[in-house]
Amino acid sequence: MYISYKINEKGSTNGRTKFDEQVYHDRNIVECCFGFLKGNRRIATRYEKTARNYLSMVKLGCIRLFYRRLFN
């Protein structure tokens, strides 16, 4: 049985991945959205017993987020 291996390049060997500014920007927006939703205590601790009710609370949290961004 043969097992292949991969040794990561380090430091000055130009082994760094290319920085994509658009992907970083999009990821930051998504992470901020999740951070806001987790800031809502009811969503973070999941008080709802059913998945349907929990999803409804997540949707209400998203509505609050978009409403805040729209009118502020």
pLDDT at 72: 80
- Contact (CB, 8 A) for 42 and 57: yes
Residue 4 backbone class (left: φ over 0; alpha: ψ -120 to 50; beta: rest) = beta
| C-alpha gyration radius of the chain | 20
The whole-model pTM stands at 0.58
pLDDT at 11: 56
Question: Per the structure block, which two tokens stand in for 38?
Answer: 């987790």
pLDDT at 14: 61
* Cα angle 19, 65, 30; round to 5: 20
> What are phi and psi for residue 15, nearest 5 degrees?
-90, 5
- pLDDT by 10s per residue, the chain, length 72: 667 767 666 655 565 667 788 888 989 988 988 888 888 888 888 888 899 998 999 999 999 989 988 988
